[in-house]
Amino acid sequence: MIPTFTRAYQAAAAIAGFRIVAFADAANNATITEASTQTGAFLGVSDRQGADAGGMADVHRDGLGSVELGGTVAAGDPLTADADGKAIAAVAAIGTTKRIVGYADEPGVSGDIIDAFISPGVLHVPA
């Protein structure tokens, strides 16, 4: 891992290590939670320890970080979150928008922890 920006946030609920995280309440950015949708704004990836509910979680927001996979990805695939905050390949259909946390730096399958270039953004395919 070569994170270039890491920040601590309070966990609204337990957060596992190497998970994609988002604000628990986007209107009040006081706490974070594991991401559970492909359309919510991602902050980055939790560090190895994660956090208990109410505890502090370090979040890698930029740079090379590790993330647990929820499906098969190829090196270079844009990554989004599954319902458990694990990374899956982002595939946007025509007329859709998906949030991404970054790009896979290596291939892997569900359950693997891989390096990824963390750079939250948006994947949009116009109609």
Number of domain units in the chain: 2
**Are 91 and 55 members of one domain?**
no
**Are 93 and 113 members of one domain?**
yes
Q: Give the burial class of 2: count Cβ atoms within 10 A of its Cβ; 0-12 exposed, 13-18 middle, 19 or more buried.
A: exposed
Rounded-to-integer distance, Cα 77 and Cα 5, Å: 22
DSSP 54: T
**Are 16 and 58 members of one domain?**
yes
**Are 32 and 76 members of one domain?**
no
User: What pLDDT, on a 0 to 100 scale, did the predictor assign at position 40?
Assistant: 86
Q: pLDDT tens digit string along 2-56?
A: 778 999 999 999 999 999 999 998 777 789 999 999 998 899 999 999 999 999 9
- Smallest CA-to-CA distance from 71 within 106, 110, 40 is with 110
Q: How do strand 20-23 and strand 42-46 relate by DSSP bridges?
A: antiparallel
Give the N- to C-terminal CA distance of the chain in Å, as an integer.
37
- pTM for the model stands at 0.94
| Token reading at 89 | 């390949």
User: Whole domain around residue 70: which residue ranges?
Assistant: 65-125
H-only helix segments in the chain: none
Instruction: Map residue 112 onto helix, strand or coil.
Output: coil
